Amino acid sequence: MKKLLLTFSCAVFNLTAYSAVPLTPEQQLGEALFKDKNLSFNHNQSCETCHSLNPIPSLKGVQGIVPGFVDPSNVKGISPISVGSIPRTTGTLNAPSIAYASYSPEFGWDEDEQIYVGGQFWNGRATNLIEQAKKPLLNPVEMAMLDELDVVNRIKSNPKYIKDFQKIYQLNISDTSSDKAIQDTYTALAKAISAFEQSGTFNKFNSKFDYYLAGTTQLSTTEKKGLDLFQGKAGCSGCHKMDVTVDSNGNTIPPLFTYFGYDNIGLPRNMAIPGNPFADLGLGGREGIPQTEIGKHKVRSLRNIDLTPPYGHNGIFNNLDDMVHFYNTRDVLKKVKDNNSPEFAKTAWAAPEISSNMNTTQIGNLGLSIVEEKAIVAFLKTLTDDYPLWGNNPVAVSTKDGRVPENSPPPIISTKNMPTLKIPVRIK
């Protein structure tokens, strides 16, 4: 992967944001499958259960207006992890958002950077979105279907699916006479869901920050201070990259706020997870991955971060303030037994679940003031999609942003109005 680092005082290229387009037939099929509870053991859970396509109207502010594609029960604070189709079964990790997941490269070793990158799930165990879509259906603590044949039998009971799979993939899904036929249908199902996850539903690029890059609106004084800290003193952009990416077709992708790698940030054990499970070993817990990767989990995109509490692979942080405070003071504050302590996230932290391979150079003692922490949080909130909607909603903002009316299209960031920012350009 080749990198060019360019500093913009004006602009040197066009940056076009994602434009919403109608779903293709394949994506429409993927949407139907994504929402289909019939594909779980007890006909009670779909992909959408843990990755909701809708806002949470019972919540105030932006979370009640814009979907975050996560489990509403997690956001509401009912539990940091999700309940499976079978009663009293749960996972041990917080369900991440699907938004922008399609931009993660396939899992592999980056020779240039000498690190593992890409893949799906917290530990990258799915090489790509297609492989990711296959796994929850058969996971006993998620949708809990018995095997691929069990799933295919559910699919072929739907006459519309029979027609759609035939038209889109030229597959007769009623044919379960061979392992190949079953696998072909199962893979096509995953392809359809993957196609839906690559649609504009999940990848909007229409946050306040995107309109700011386009020169359409301005950040507040506090938000701009947070951006400066993010890129400077706090060093957040070291891992949550603000690169502009130019792909092999010349398409330009706005910042995704991740480098798609893995890191151990030293999260304490979350005592709110039922059963108090052993610490998840992350990337290093996978077969064939060296122990130098134990404790490392996927560095997520920060887009829509305000919509997706709790935070961390084990959901230990209930809000953005606590998360930023942890990054700033992990190695400074005293230690308490666990996160049940009333001092936790205020004047103390608990010991890390896994201390080996912990990032001690970029996290833990950033020297930020409380005011600076709050400025970073204010900036992070500008990364929430559907700004034309929430930026003009009195529930979310005190003053409407007349520069970005409610029906504004996704922004087009051109050379003439690029803000003066130091933005790396990554050419694939």
Instruction: List Cβ neighbours of 237 (8 Å cut-off, separation of 6 or more).
Output: 230, 231
Nearest Cα neighbor of 140 from 69, 83, 78 is 83
Beta strand extents in 305-372 (DSSP E only): 334-336, 348-350
Coil, strand or helix at 424: strand
Reported for 45-53, long-range contacts at CB under 8 A and 24+ positions apart, including other chains, are 45/84, 45/85, 45/142, 45/143, 46/143, 47/133, 47/136, 47/193, 49/82, 50/82, 50/95, 50/136, 50/142, 51/95, 51/97, 51/98, 53/201
Rounded Cα gap, residues 332 and 311, in angstroms? 21
Rounded Cα gap, residues 130 and 423, in angstroms? 31
Q: What is the pLDDT of residue 20?
A: 62
Sign of CA dihedral 304, 256, 83, 337: negative
Rounded Cα gap, residues 428 and 426, in angstroms? 6
Number of H helices, E strands in the chain: 12, 12
The torsion angles phi and psi of 237, rounded to 5 degrees, stand at -70, -5
B/e letters for 3-36, b = 16+ CB within 10 Å, e = fewer, are eeeeebeebebebbbbeeeeeeebbbbbbbbbeb
Q: What is the pLDDT of residue 81?
A: 97
> 368, 233 in Cβ contact below 8 A?
yes
Q: What is the pLDDT of residue 300?
A: 97
Rounded Cα gap, residues 46 and 137, in angstroms? 9
The torsion angles phi and psi of 298, rounded to 5 degrees, stand at -60, 135
For the domain 1-17+204-428, what is the CATH superfamily, name and number?
Answer: Cytochrome c-like domain (1.10.760.10)
For the domain 24-203, what is the CATH superfamily, name and number?
Answer: Cytochrome c-like domain (1.10.760.10)
Going residue by residue through the chain, which has 428 residues, state the pLDDT in tens, using 9 for 90 and above. Answer: 334 333 333 333 334 444 468 999 999 999 999 999 999 999 999 999 999 999 998 898 999 999 999 999 999 999 999 999 999 999 999 999 999 999 999 999 999 999 999 999 999 999 999 999 999 999 999 999 999 999 999 999 999 999 999 999 999 999 999 999 999 999 999 999 999 999 999 999 999 999 998 889 999 999 999 999 999 999 999 999 998 777 777 777 889 999 999 999 999 999 999 999 999 999 999 999 999 999 999 999 999 999 999 999 999 999 999 999 999 999 999 999 999 999 999 999 999 999 999 999 999 999 999 999 999 999 999 999 999 999 999 989 988 998 999 989 988 765 444 445 666 666 66
Q: What is the pLDDT of residue 244?
A: 77
Rounded Cα gap, residues 125 and 103, in angstroms? 16
Q: What is the pLDDT of residue 413?
A: 64
Nearest Cα neighbor of 351 from 364, 366, 367 is 364
Q: What is the pLDDT of residue 414?
A: 54
Q: Where in the chain is the domain with CATH 1.10.760.10?
A: 1-17+204-428, 24-203
Rounded Cα gap, residues 191 and 21, in angstroms? 19
Q: What is the pLDDT of residue 9?
A: 32
Write the CA distances from 344 to 76, 81, 143, 326, integer angstroms.
Answer: 20, 20, 34, 10
Which tokens sit at 255?
Answer: 């910042």
3-state helix, strand, coil in the chain (%, to 5): 30, 10, 55
Rounded Cα gap, residues 345 and 324, in angstroms? 10
Instruction: List Cβ neighbours of 18 (8 Å cut-off, separation of 6 or more).
Output: 200, 203, 204, 205, 206, 410
Rounded Cα gap, residues 222 and 114, in angstroms? 37
The torsion angles phi and psi of 109, rounded to 5 degrees, stand at -95, 125
> 328, 320 in Cβ contact below 8 A?
no
Q: Interhelix angle for 159-169 vs 179-197, to 10°?
A: 90
